Amino acid sequence: AVCSMGNSTSRLYSVLAKTLSSGAVSQQQDSLEQLDSARLDPLDPKDLLEECQIVLQKRPPRFQRNFVNLKKNTASNHRPIRVMQWNILAQALGEGKDNFVQCPMEALKWEERKCLILEEILAYKPDILCLQEVDHYFDTFEPLLSRLGYQCTFFPKPWSPCLDVEHNNGPDGCAMFFLKERFELINSANIRLMAMKLKTNQVAIAQTLKCHETGRLFCIAVTHLKARTGWERFRSAQGCDLLQNLKNITQGAKIPLIVCGDFNAEPTEEVYREFSNSSLNLNSAYKLLSPDGQSEPPYTTWKIRPSGECRHTLDYIWYSQHALNVNSALGLLTEEQIGPNRLPSFNYPSDHLSLVCDFSFNQDPDRLL
């Protein structure tokens, strides 16, 4: 295949390919210096998508997922705000710690897996992108997404498990990206979550944005709570701490709020109930896909480890239900699409599914939250 892209994009991509190839750690400094010179040039998303598809031409095509229209009869006078939530699977953990016994190591190669991740992002074109388990922020996501017009923020875990893996790419953490043409940053807070009065290894980012089109403020937050069974009370404490921080940031819910995250908690857990019953008046957007609007999806992650098959609902997009409307949500992959070997795979780059919602502001800004 012949790429019809301009020189600056091709040059950037070749630099990335060298930087990110295994065994190329010694070249990273020189490559990143080259990236700095290219970073300022705007990048056409179609060109980047074309580059990704060339790299992925030997892999199966992307799964087809459709948006489900959830809009009520309320008219909106502004473009919807598309929010994407995704635990993208840290590269060091995927290759070194997570033991996906049915996933071939070949499917986890970063040179191709990063293109699957980028392809997913480019396909849905989020206005705001919230990611967890990001360990290639500085050499992949920040340089590329900043050139696509996003403002980028990263907050790593203090003691990332990625650092225990040989040839790691640094710590993983949460990352947030928003389109500068649509929003202005009013305030940004990096939050190290507390539990039982102790600082923990889990983090959150909360940013107050002003929508250029409507002039309205809202807060967007991303987090990744403690994993593993047996840590339910710990997650509950982290959730309480995050909610308290968000109450302060939103001035007691005067500012509408969207919270994206891998909570590592099923809907039966206490931390889920805390968010459901909070004075911030939050609802979980993906409940709206169920027939009664009250049930979470059957899964947002599905993998096979040595201990067995793990099928759980852990990922959520919470929103201020009286201040914001959910216009649509991206349907999940079916069991047939996921396949018997589950995730990740040659088709899909992470063990977690991406969640995408379109939001609009309630038309009465004075209505109580």
AA letter at 309: E
Q: Has residue 24 got a pLDDT over 60?
A: no
Query: What confidence tens digit (pLDDT) does each residue in 214-259 have?
Result: 999 999 999 999 999 999 999 999 999 999 999 999 999 899 999 9
pLDDT at res. 8: 42
Q: Has residue 306 got a pLDDT over 60?
A: yes
pLDDT at res. 180: 98
pLDDT at res. 39: 57
Residues 343-355 have a mean pLDDT of 96
CB 297 within 8 A of CB 313: yes
- Evaluate the CA torsion angle 228, 238, 130, 268 in order and state its sign: positive
pLDDT at res. 366: 54
Q: Are strands 150-156 and 183-195 parallel, antiparallel or unpaired?
A: unpaired
Q: Has residue 74 got a pLDDT over 70?
A: no
pLDDT at res. 99: 81
Residue that is written with structure tokens 């091709």 in the block: 10
Mean model confidence pLDDT for the chain = 89
Residue 133's pLDDT band (boundaries 50, 70, 90)?
Answer: very high
Rounded to whole angstroms, how far apart are CA atoms 237 and 239? 5
pTM: 0.89
Rounded to whole angstroms, how far apart are CA atoms 125 and 356? 10
The full set of domain ranges for the chain reads 79-363
Residues 333-360 have a mean pLDDT of 96
Query: What confidence tens digit (pLDDT) does each residue in 255-285 have?
Result: 999 999 999 999 999 999 999 999 999 999 9
- Whether omega before 344 lies within 30 degrees of 0, making that bond cis, reads yes
**Least confident window among 34-48, 69-83, 235-249:** 34-48
Cβ-count burial of 310 within 10 angstroms (0-12 exposed, 13-18 middle, 19+ buried)? middle
SS3 206: strand
Q: Classify domain 79-363 by CATH number.
A: 3.60.10.10
CB 141 within 8 A of CB 175: yes
Specify the higher pLDDT residue, 61 or 150: 150
Share of the chain above pLDDT 90, in %: 80
pLDDT at res. 368: 47
Residues 56-60 have a mean pLDDT of 94
pLDDT at res. 73: 66
Rounded to whole angstroms, how far apart are CA atoms 161 and 90? 10
Residues 49-65 have a mean pLDDT of 94
Query: What confidence tens digit (pLDDT) does each residue in 166-218 have?
Result: 999 999 999 999 999 999 999 999 999 999 999 999 999 999 999 999 999 99
Q: Has residue 350 got a pLDDT over 80?
A: yes
Distance from the Cα of residue 49 to its chain's centroid:
19
Residue 15's pLDDT band (boundaries 50, 70, 90)?
Answer: very low
Specify the higher pLDDT residue, 15 or 342: 342
pLDDT at res. 97: 76
